[in-house]
Structures are given as C-alpha cells and as structure tokens.
A and B are shown apart, each in its own frame.
Chain A
Amino acid sequence: MSAIPSQLTSLDFFEIKESIKSYLRTRKEFTDYDFEGSTSSYLIDVLAYNTYYTAFNANMALNEAFLETATVRDNIVRIAKQLNYTPRSIKASRACLAIAAQTTIGLNGTTYPEFATLRKGDVFVANNDNDNFTFTLTQDIQVAVDSATGIANFDNVLVYQGNLLRYNYTVDYTTRQDFVIPGENVDTSLLVVDISPNAQSSETDTYNLAANVTAADANTRIYYLEETDDLRYRLVFGDGSIGRKLVDGEYLTITYVSTNGVEANGCKNFDYIGNIVDSDGRVIPPAALQVTTKDAAQDGEDRETGLSVKFRAPRAYATQNRAVTETDYEHIVSEIYPQAASVTAYGGEKLNPPVYGKVYVAIRPKTGNKLNATTKQKIKNDLKKYSVASVEPVIIDPTSFYIIPKSYVYYNGNDTALTGAQLGTKILQAIDQFNKNGQNNRFGGRLDGSKFGSMVDNSDTAISGNVTQMTLGKNLDKFTFGNVFTQCLDFGNPLYDPSKYSGNPDGGTGDNTGVSCKPSFSVAKSGTFYATGYTEDLVNLTLSDGSTDAGVTSSGISTNVLNEVLVPVNIRDDGTGNLILVTTRDETELVLNPSVGSVNYATGQVCVGPIAIQGTPDNTERLPIQVLPAGGSILIPPGDDPTVFSPTVNPIDYTINDTAIPAFDPNNFNGYNFGDLGGLNIIDYPTDTFTYPVSESCF
C-alpha cells in the first residue's frame, strides 16, 4: 500500500497529479477524482500545480547557483565574479577623422591665435544603414595654429559613438554606498573616474582600473570594476590596504560613454556639431572647418553574452596572471607592453635544434621594426614576475613570413558590370581584408590554399573559380655591408625539388640509370644586389674565357682588376641543392660562383653564404629570398609573423577567353607558371625587399 505520494522529484505536472490520485485511491473518502468535471479533480489540479511550481523553483534555484547551468545573466555574472572575471562591456564604434580649422586674425589684430582647442563631448553626427548616431570626443584636444596660414590641424581625432555623460557621487560614510554607473550601455574602456576632495574643489585625482592586486598599496589610486544587476557596472574602491580608501565627503565624478555598440559600425560621413575655440576664446564656425574621414566607424561590439561569460570565466581564472602557456605569454606581454602591435610566443622546444627551458617572445612594435635592447630587457624583467622560475623568457625581433599569392581568376563577364581591372581591385581588397584578419591569429598556424581560393571566389558573385599558386618570402637581414656572412632562412615548408623533375637522358631506361639531366628550374631566388668582389672585370674575364661559369672566388680575381665597378648579381639554386651567384650579360645568364650556399628542399631551409654583400638597390641591409613551396597549404613556422605580400590577381573573363590555366606543372615553363616565358625560371627574382605592411589606420 502506498500511503504517501511516491513521486517526490518529478518535474512533470501530470506525474505529480497521478501521484496524488494514486494516493487518493488508497483512501475511501472520495471517489470521483478520475473524472475531470469533479470538484476533487479541480482541487487535485491546484495541489499538483503548487507542487510542480515548488519543485521547479527549487530546481531552478539550484541550477542558477552553478556557472555551468545558470541561465539568468545576473546569476552568471555573479558566479563569474567569484572567479574574478568581469564581463566585457559593450564597445563603442570608433572612427578616425582629421579636422582642419581655419582661424581668423586674433584679437591683437596682427597674428593668428596661438592654438585652438576641440572641446570634448558630442562632436559629430553620422549615419549608416541602421540609423543616425552621435559621435563623441572623450578628451579635449589642443593643437597649435600655423602662424602663416592660420590653420589648426587636428589630425587623427578618435571619436567614439555615443554620448559623453557624467555622474557624481559624494562619499558618505553614514550610508552603505554603491557607486553604480547609471546606464546599461556603458563602454567601460572609456570610463574616466576622477576624485576631488569636495564638490567645489578643482583638484582632481584620476583613478585607474586595477589590473590586479599585487602592485596595489594603501595609496594606489585604483578602482575595481564589477558588473552588477541589470547590466550596470559598479565601481569598487580600495579598503586602505589594497588601493586607497575614499574619504568621507570626497566627490566622485564618473565620465562615461553610453553607446549603441555594433549598430554604429560603418558610419562614414560625419557632420560636425562640436565646439572648437581658439586661444582668444572665440568659437570657430563650422563653415571654417574641413573634415576628412580617415577611418570609417568600426570595432563596435555588443556586450559579452552570458554564454561567452560561462565559457571564458573559468579559463580566465585558470590563467591566474601566470605565464605558463604560449598564449599566456602573448597576453601578458601585450599588457605590460601596450605599444606592441603583435606578440608571438613559442617554446624553445619547437626550434630546430630544440632549446629547452626558454620561451621566445617575438614583439613587433607599433612604430619601427625592432625594439631596442633596453626595452627588451625591461620587458624581460617585467615578464619574470609572471613566468615560471625555471623558464627564461627571451625577447626577440619578429621574423616576417611573406606569402605571395598569384591568382588567375575566372569570371563571367555577363554577370557583372565591373571591368576586369575593377574586379581585380575588388579581389585585392578582399585579400587585404583576409590578410588583416589573418595576421591577428597568424592564420591559425597555417594558410590552406583552398581557404584562400574560396575567399577569392566569394569576393564577387561573378567569379566562377580561381587557380592560385603561393610562393614564400623572407629577408636576409643578419649582415652588414662589406662583411662576409652566412645566414639560414627556415621556410618551414617542403619545396619543390627540381632534380626530381629533370628526368634522365634516355627517358629512364638503359645504361643511364641513376644519371639525371641538369635540372631546368630554380625554386629559390634572391633579389638583385652587389656582392663584394664581383666586378665588371670578373665578368669580362669570364666571357673571354668562353665559359658561362666563372668558377672563381671573389678573392681570386679582385687582385688583378682594372674596372672595379660591381655588377648586379642574384642568387638562385641550381636545382641540386646548391645556391649559385649569377649575373646577366647580353641576355645570357653568367654563373659567377657555383657555390654560395645550399637549399634543403625537404625542410625548406635556405642557407646563404659565405658571401659579402656590398650593397642593395634600396640601400637597406635586407635582401629578399623567394621560394616555391611544394604543397598547396602553407605551414606558418613557429614564431614567424605571416603576412600576405604583394598579391597578383589576373582576372580572366571566360566568356571571351576560355584558355585553361593549368595548375603548377614544373615541366611546363610556358603557361601559368611563374617566371619568364623563356622557360628557365619558374619563379622570378624578387624585385623589392619584403616589407611588413604598416597599418595606416590611426587606431
């Protein structure tokens, strides 16, 4: 006999109802509970509903107590708070503008005013497909006025979408205060917190967001940020030991930007609504301004979703501000050295030969190419606070890895109004965007030919397909002019081995087994340069010898020369693993030195030297080396910064020209292959030094 309801854990209304009915069946007081019209059935419904609600509530409450199962954002945020994780706020879209303001002769009647000031606050309105938006300036900008023209140039003015708002609190010890920013769409990265002794005081201290507590003491002016209920953020100040404690009566000013986030991305045309005054205090009218948009509005983001918080909070907690994995190093270095444009870290065990116990951190600064030794040492010292004791961080200059794609793109000319050249420009823009996105995560460690190809295909609907060949490039840069050096470049990808395609004299049968023909193409080539000792005289001597192979060393000839003008030379491989030094005379290639280095086709390592370079065309101590990888997918070597360099796009309207472009065929020197159509070269000698693209954005 079941005297009590047995379904105690059910979350189903009907199971609970049935449980009550089965209890009543054991009693004789009432009988009609099985009929839906009976009053007892109505009462059972109410009881079951009540039980159901209680059970659901208990279940929900318990679920909401754990990060994994919580669904209500406020609860997720609360649990994440225990892991010291602050969800990322909404991010204002930002744009970069230049303003040229024409001032008038100053009050003294003779000269232009000394300077002009663009006041912070709402300065522009702009619109995109969604709506109209206000853009705001967070700080006053003051520039000098050109004394000759009277023009004040505000260059690289960063404006953020939203309204600049301000809110005040007076610290009051008698109440329990919560310093909440009163708005839910606040970009916390633009938050400014100022404290003054009282409301009337003009003295202010700006407080900074605390990164962690290790460096804070009783006088550190910091605040902590927490997300609280209803998407609001709360400021928390120090307690007098970890950060300065606020004093009763102090006056808190919070300046923040309330924004629409991602909606404002893409705003282009900015109408001025701001306030520029000159040093005489006169407002410069909008008619006297010329506004140029340098970068349209971008980078706006929505606030972090509950799902994202659930994913990231435990992982952020796991890092614990310690540098353990490669990503930890990258993250921490970008925090301790904000001027880094990109940071790549890798363990020494990935090197060949492996170097255990060291972590290499390659930093590309936002300005210039390399960090100086002092900065490197400082970063290293800062990094040691975070790194594991037995691991030594080594700060190195980044090695750039240039990927040079050459694409033949088929399109249907009837499907597009664009000309071939316009389509080419459109594809190049798509490649440019692809490159910008890829640089951030190093293309995920590899750049697959198919992925690149589909990106090209998707850049316009008229494109039916493409044939793309990639080549790779790096610069030799460990030399000084006039000094003999040897440098190896590791391309990290297998290269075509020309000797495998050369065949043998009688087609592979008979007595010549094992004898190969001379390889007919090169897979590694350098840019043009001047090598010490390789002069006009040497070339003339070589020619008079009736040979195209000088076969002498530079030291052997330079003693008996009359004409010491250096000849432009290149390095290429001979197809059997040797690098040779060549020049061109009367459209004929002349080998000046048959051994100036080696190529390992299997590993992609190219070693140049010993050789001395006397000069390069652009007079920099860099010499480009370009190689032809064997596979369609490019592996990015550890620590290298990849970038797409000088892509070539040849659009072909297949309704007019339906010539098939074959894929790379090392035996075909006339078709799509790189190099001159004469047949010797698969890839061209690179003409320019490879340069990492400098971001022209003012962000």
Chain B
Amino acid sequence: MASYRFRSEKYVSRGFKDLAISLNSNPSTGDFGVVRNENAIKQSVRNLICTMYGERPFQDEIGSRVRELLFEPWDPFSVDSMKGEIYNCLQRLEPRIEVTSIDLRDDSDINSIQVAIEYTIVGQEVQQSVDFLLERA
C-alpha cells in the first residue's frame, strides 16, 4: 500500500484547491468560495498576468509588465513584447502548466485586449485555455 501511494503522489497530478478571487461566500454554508483543479490554475494564470512588478510586498520578481504594455502604442512590436511577457511570466511562476499558444486580439475600439492562452497541465494531456480581457484602468 505504501508504495502505491508513493507512485500516485509522484506521477499523478494532485488536486488543487484555492480561494476564489472574488472572495464571495457560499450562500448556504457562509464559507469562502473555492476553486478547484483546472479552475484554480486558470485563476492563478490570470492573477499572475494582472500583477505588476513590486505589487507583492518584498517580492519584486512576482508579476509581469503586461499592464504597463497596455499603455504602449499598439503595433506588432508591442504585441510581440506582450506575448513574450506573458510566456515568460507563466514559465517562471506557474510550474503547473506548459504554455502552448498565446493569442492577443486588439479591441482598441473598446480600449481593451482580448487574451487567449492555451496550455497543458503538467501530467495531463488535455489542452486547457483561458480567455480574459485586459483593460486600461
């Protein structure tokens, strides 16, 4: 039994459980909302990309320049920079995933950029994706 459990912990992705960023409470129990597994990872990806350098106390290296780049002129160079920034950030700080593609769509008429990231969770073959809007605020 012991060896089986060892194998399962080492080679099978474990379950993930995190607080929901909305911090809403469960209407029936009154507990904090919870996100699990791939949803927890999606939330983490979004958190990391929306965090600016220096925002976390004493940990200057956590975050990305993505928010800064929103204020750059929107040209192919900025697109490349932003993709690179997202890729690097996730590779550095989110060890649970491997990014496969990043797609940025310009919605400048509503002052926002649509971000679509595709990745696989380490240890699972299923492709995951996360889509969100980046807005200048």
Contacts and interface: CB of A to CB of B under 8 A. Distances in A.
B30 interface: no
A40 interface: yes
Interface of B: 14-21, 40, 43-45, 47-48, 56-59, 62, 93-96
A547 B34 CA distance: 126
A327 interface: no
Given A30-B17, A32-B18, A38 B40 contact: yes
A29 B19 CA distance: 9
A14 to B, nearest CB: 7
Contact of B18 (A14, A40, A46, A48): A40
A31 B16 contact: yes
A14 B17 contact: no
Contacts of B20: 39
Contact of B96 (A35, A45, A49): A35
Interface residues of A, number: 18
Contacts of A14: 58
A38 B57 contact: no
Given A14-B58, A45-B56, A49-B57, A30 B48 contact: no
A40 B32 CA distance: 11
A267 B47 CA distance: 64
Given A35-B44, A35-B96, A40 B57 contact: no
Contacts of B96: 35
Given A32-B40, A32-B44, A39 B57 contact: no
A413 to B, nearest CB: 61
Interface in A1-57: 13-14, 29-32, 35-40, 42-43, 45-46, 48-49
27 contacts: A13-B58, A29-B17, A30-B17, A31-B14, A31-B17, A31-B18, A32-B16, A32-B17, A32-B40, A32-B44, A36-B59, A36-B94, A37-B43, A37-B44, A37-B45, A37-B94, A38-B18, A38-B19, A38-B47, A39-B18, A39-B19, A39-B20, A39-B43, A40-B18, A43-B19, A45-B56, A45-B59
Given A32-B40, A45-B56, A39 B16 contact: no
A14 B60 CA distance: 13
Contact of B95 (A31, A35, A48): A35
Nearest to B40: A32
Given A42-B56, A45-B57, A36 B18 contact: no
A385 B40 CA distance: 83
Summarize B's interface: helix, strand, loop or mixed.
loop
Nearest to A14: B58
A30 B93 contact: no
Interface of A: 13-14, 29-32, 35-40, 42-43, 45-46, 48-49
A371 B45 CA distance: 90
B132 to A, nearest CB: 14
A42 B18 contact: no
A36 B21 contact: no
A30 B18 contact: yes
Nearest to B49: A37
Contacts of A30: 17-19
Nearest to A32: B18
Given A13-B57, A32-B40, A37 B19 contact: no
- Shortest beta-carbon contacts, A-B, top 7: A37-B44, A37-B48, A32-B18, A49-B57, A39-B19, A13-B58, A37-B47
- A36, A37, A43, most chain B CB atoms within 10 A: A37
Contact of B44 (A38, A46, A48, A49): A38
Nearest to B50: A37
Contacts of A49: 57-58
A46 to B, nearest CB: 8
Contacts of A37: 43-45, 47-48, 93-94
Contacts of B59: 36, 45
A36 B62 contact: yes
A32 B14 CA distance: 11
A42 to B, nearest CB: 7
Contacts of A31: 14-18
Contacts of B16: 31-32
Nearest to B89: A37
A499 B71 CA distance: 96
Contacts of B48: 36-37
Given A30-B19, A36-B59, A37-B45, 5 more contacts: A31-B18, A36-B56, A37-B44, A38-B19, A45-B56
A30 B15 CA distance: 10
Contacts of A42: 47, 56
Contacts of A40: 18-19
A667 to B, nearest CB: 76
A539 B126 CA distance: 131
Contacts of B94: 35-37
Contacts of B47: 37-39, 42
Nearest to B14: A31
A31 B45 CA distance: 16
A16 B96 CA distance: 25
Contacts of B19: 30, 38-40, 43
Nearest to A37: B44
A31 B17 CA distance: 5
A30 to B, nearest CB: 6
Contacts of A48: 57
A40 B59 CA distance: 15
B62 to A, nearest CB: 5
Contacts of A32: 16-18, 40, 44
A32 B95 CA distance: 12
Contact of A39 (B21, B62, B95): B21
Contacts of A46: 57
